[in-house]
């Protein structure tokens, strides 16, 4: 049994980790932060060249990484990723970060069912697949850790983001349930729920033209925290056995308002939307 299993080592230290969506943004920051903490990381992404760039950045910092092409929405590819990670690192994985995700916006009746399926495929099925194929490995090892990247959208219910909100609420519910179910196996779970983080999510997403420039501008210029800050904080929260990482003040404020009075919050949201549209 490892030091982490004997509770002498924190899950973010010297991890054998797999990060999905590691070719950009928050996923890349997770990979680099894990490297700083002495870890080895399998960087999985649908975009292999982007994952390879992350591995090159890790190498510059003297850390070992592996790039693997994987579409997280495809169960066979995620199963293969889990098996391949064990072979590449010559160790069972100790941490999986289910981070890959895509942005989707637009009025409910503008979204096509294809849009819904695309968003569910990556954001929700991607995380389900990651948990499904890595939990047995952690049970085999006797310990492990999962970080699922949800969003403040999992509880803010912001209009014109229905599909995205639904996927992220699902990721939060999955994480909350697994946290209770897996505790007795020494498998820790953390769910990350940020508001804006400057990354490529708008550029890579399906956002209606009328918003995309504005949204990207807001993301890049008004975000209160960087992806590096978010990765550091989340790994620290995981180490302290916390279930939730809600990084920014606005994310915390919405979380409190929603929990204090869900009905009042819904009225506030509806009124705000009517006034500003």
Ligand X SMILES: NC(=O)c1ccc[n+]([C@@H]2O[C@H](COP(=O)([O-])OP(=O)(O)OC[C@H]3O[C@@H](n4cnc5c(N)ncnc54)[C@H](O)[C@@H]3O)[C@@H](O)[C@H]2O)c1
9 binds ligand X (CB under 6 A): no
Looking at the Cβ atoms of 105 and 144, the one nearer to ligand X is 105
Give the whole-angstrom CA distance, residue 228 versus residue 245: 14
* Catalytic residue, candidates 16, 133, 143, 164: 164
199 binds ligand X (CB under 6 A): yes
- Chain-centroid distance, C-alpha 248: 16
| 124 phi and psi angles, rounded to 5 deg | -105, -55
Quote the least distance from Cβ 2 to ligand X, whole Å.
Answer: 28
Give the whole-angstrom CA distance, residue 111 versus residue 216: 20
User: Which of 11, 65, 101, 105: binder of ligand X (CB under 6 A)?
Assistant: 101
Convert residues 200-219 into a mask of x (bound to ligand X by CB under 6 A) and - (unbound).
Answer: xx--x--------------x
User: Which of 122, 145, 161, 191: binder of ligand X (CB under 6 A)?
Assistant: 122
In this structure, what token pair is assigned to residue 22? 């590691």
Residue 30: CB atoms within 10 A of its CB come to 33
User: Which of 15, 17, 18, 26: binder of ligand X (CB under 6 A)?
Assistant: 26
- Within 59-98, the residues that bind ligand X by CB under 6 A are 70-73
User: Which of 31, 43, 50, 97: binder of ligand X (CB under 6 A)?
Assistant: 50
Looking at the Cβ atoms of 15 and 201, the one nearer to ligand X is 201
Going by DSSP bridges, is the β-strand pair 16-20/144-149 parallel, antiparallel, or unpaired? unpaired
Q: Looking at 9-17, 193-201, 241-249, 269-277, which segment touches ligand X (CB under 6 A)?
A: 193-201
Q: Looking at 18-26, 130-138, 210-218, 259-267, which segment touches ligand X (CB under 6 A)?
A: 18-26
SS3 97: strand
Quote the least distance from Cβ 119 to ligand X, whole Å.
Answer: 10
Based on the residue annotation, tell me whether 164 is a catalytic residue of this protein: yes
By residue count, the chain amounts to 277
Quote the least distance from Cβ 199 to ligand X, whole Å.
Answer: 3
160 binds ligand X (CB under 6 A): no
Q: Where are the beta strands (DSSP E) in the chain?
A: 16-20, 40-45, 65-69, 95-98, 144-149, 187-192, 244-245
In this structure, what token pair is assigned to residue 64? 């070992």
Sole residue written with tokens 């409910």 = 108
Per-residue DSSP letter, 224: S
The DSSP H or E segment spanning 262 is: helix 262-276
Contacts with ligand X, residue ranges (CB under 6 A): 20-21, 23-27, 45-47, 50, 70-73, 99-102, 122, 126, 149, 151, 194, 196-197, 199-201, 204, 219
Point out the residues that are catalytic: 164
């Amino acid at each position: 049994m490892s030091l982490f299993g004997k509770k002498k080592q924190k899950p973010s230290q010297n991890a054998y980790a797999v990060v999905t969506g590691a070719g950009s943004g928050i996923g890349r920051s997770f990979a680099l932060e894990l490297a700083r903490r002495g870890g080895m990381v399998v960087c999985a992404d649908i975009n292999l060249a982007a994952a390879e760039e992350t591995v090159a950045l890790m190498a510059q910092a003297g850390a070992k990484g592996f790039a693997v092409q994987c579409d997280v929405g495809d169960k066979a590819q995620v199963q293969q990723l889990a098996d391949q990670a064990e072979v590449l690192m010559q160790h069972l994985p100790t941490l999986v970060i289910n981070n890959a995700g895509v942005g989707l916006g637009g009025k409910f009746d503008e979204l096509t069912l294809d849009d819904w399926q695309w968003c569910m495929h990556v954001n929700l099925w991607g995380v389900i697949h990651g948990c499904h194929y890595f939990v047995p490995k952690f049970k085999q090892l006797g310990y492990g850790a999962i970080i699922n990247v949800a969003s403040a959208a999992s509880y803010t219910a912001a209009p014109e983001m229905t599909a995205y909100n639904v996927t992220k609420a699902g990721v939060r519910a999955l994480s909350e349930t697994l946290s209770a179910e897996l505790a007795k196996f020494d498998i820790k779970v953390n769910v990350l729920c940020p508001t804006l983080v400057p990354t490529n999510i708008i550029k890579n997403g399906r956002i209606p033209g009328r918003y995309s420039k504005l949204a990207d501008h807001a993301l890049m210029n008004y975000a209160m925290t960087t992806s590096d800050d978010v990765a550091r904080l989340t790994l620290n929260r995981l180490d302290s056995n916390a279930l939730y990482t809600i990084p920014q003040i606005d994310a915390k404020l919405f979380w409190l308002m929603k929990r204090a009075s869900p009905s009042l919050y819904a009225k506030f949201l509806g009124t705000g939307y009517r006034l500003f549209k």
